[in-house]
């Protein structure tokens, strides 16, 4: 079945450090891939998405590239800020937004 | 409304009690999803509605869980005879035109 695996946290970085959160997936067909973010005390919100191979999603300085050959969708940011402290979820959907499958989440602390 | 609204935000139930969790979706959004998020885990799919039709309930963990959306707008997730393992955050989401899911803030259920 479809699944998402992302690196365990917590990840602790200093401000302005480079961030990578690894995400790999298993899916039949051609899923859409997403990163969601959950700030403290708030609901999940979409950070970025990519709908086909080699697409790059980007938002708020974060980027992720849909790599079909390695079944990966790693999240990167060149310079993190304290305000980026949150839990990040990698997710996939095999039928548009229907039945989105989430990874376990990676907590990021920026100090 | 402007976003997905869930109520109550917090619910403490005694084991064996029935609970009802409410979701007010974004107006006009046809698709509605319920997820269960255990502590330290990602959300797990429970059930899916398209308008008033429940098209997939494969994620409901037992027959104690029941969801409805009778008029294709507000949805209610009901849990009967709650047990401690039901303690989790229950998330409602609706899907917009570009397949982006909009989540409510969730209801944190604690069964004691």
> What is the CB-side half-sphere exposure of residue B63 using CA atoms within 13 A?
0
pLDDT, residue A30, reads 83
Is the Cβ of A91 closer than 8 Å to some Cβ of chain B? yes
pLDDT, residue A96, reads 52
- Measure the CA–CA gap between B3 and A109, rounded to whole angstroms: 27
Contact criterion met (CB < 8 Å) for B48 and A99: yes
What whole-number percentage of chain B has pLDDT above 90?
79
Q: What is the DSSP string of A36-87?
A: EEE-TTS--EEEEEE-STT-EEEETTEEEE-BTTTTB--EEESS--GGG-EE
Other CB atoms within a 10 A radius of the CB of residue A11 amount to 17
What whole-number percentage of chain B has pLDDT above 70?
95
Q: What is the DSSP string of B25-81?
A: PPTT--EEEEEEE-TTS--EEEEEEETTEEEE-TT--STTEEEE-TTSS-EEEEESS
Q: Give B62's contacts (C-beta < 8 A, 6+ positions apart).
A: none
- φ, ψ of residue B21 to 5 degrees: the values are -115, 135
Residues of chain B with pLDDT under 50: none
- Measure the CA–CA gap between A15 and A20, rounded to whole angstroms: 14
pLDDT, residue B27, reads 87
Is the Cβ of B48 closer than 8 Å to some Cβ of chain A? yes
Residues of chain A contacting residue B91, judged by C-beta atoms under 8 Å apart: 43-44
Among B100, B105, B106, select the one facing A46 at the smallest CB separation: B100
Task: Label residue A93 by pLDDT band (50, 70, 90).
Answer: confident
Among A44, A96, A98, select the one facing B91 at the smallest CB separation: A44
Residues of chain B contacting residue A32, judged by C-beta atoms under 8 Å apart: 99
Contact criterion met (CB < 8 Å) for B56 and A99: yes
What whole-number percentage of chain A has pLDDT above 70?
96
For an interface test with A, which of B98, B101, B105, B107 has the most A Cβ atoms less than 10 Å from its Cβ? Answer: B101
Is the Cβ of B25 closer than 8 Å to some Cβ of chain A? no
- Measure the CA–CA gap between B66 and B79, rounded to whole angstroms: 6
Given a contact cutoff of 8 angstroms between Cβ atoms, the answer to whether A19 and A11 are in contact is: yes
Task: Label residue A54 by pLDDT band (50, 70, 90).
Answer: very high
Token pair of A29 as six digits: 């067909």
């Amino acid at each position: 079945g479809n699944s998402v695996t992302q690196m365990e946290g917590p990840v602790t970085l200093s401000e302005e450090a480079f961030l990578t959160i690894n995400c790999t997936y298993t899916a039949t067909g051609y899923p859409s891939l997403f990163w969601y973010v959950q700030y403290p005390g708030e609901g999940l919100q979409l950070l970025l998405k990519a709908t086909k191979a080699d697409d790059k999603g980007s938002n708020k300085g974060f980027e992720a590239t849909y790599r079909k050959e390695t079944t990966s969708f790693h999240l990167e940011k060149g310079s993190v800020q304290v305000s980026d402290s949150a839990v990040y979820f990698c997710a996939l959907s095999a039928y548009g937004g229907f039945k989105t499958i989430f990874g376990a989440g990676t907590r990021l602390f920026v100090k | 409304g402007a976003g997905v609204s869930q109520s109550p935000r917090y619910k403490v139930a005694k084991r064996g009690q029935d609970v009802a969790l409410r979701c007010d979706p974004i107006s006009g959004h046809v698709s509605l999803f319920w997820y269960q998020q255990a502590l330290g885990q990602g959300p797990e799919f429970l059930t899916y509605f398209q308008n008033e039709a429940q098209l997939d309930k494969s994620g409901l963990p037992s027959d104690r869980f029941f969801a409805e959306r009778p008029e294709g707008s507000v949805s209610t997730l009901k849990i009967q005879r709650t047990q401690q393992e039901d303690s989790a955050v229950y998330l409602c989401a609706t899907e917009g035109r570009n397949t982006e899911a909009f989540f409510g803030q969730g209801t944190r259920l604690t069964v004691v």
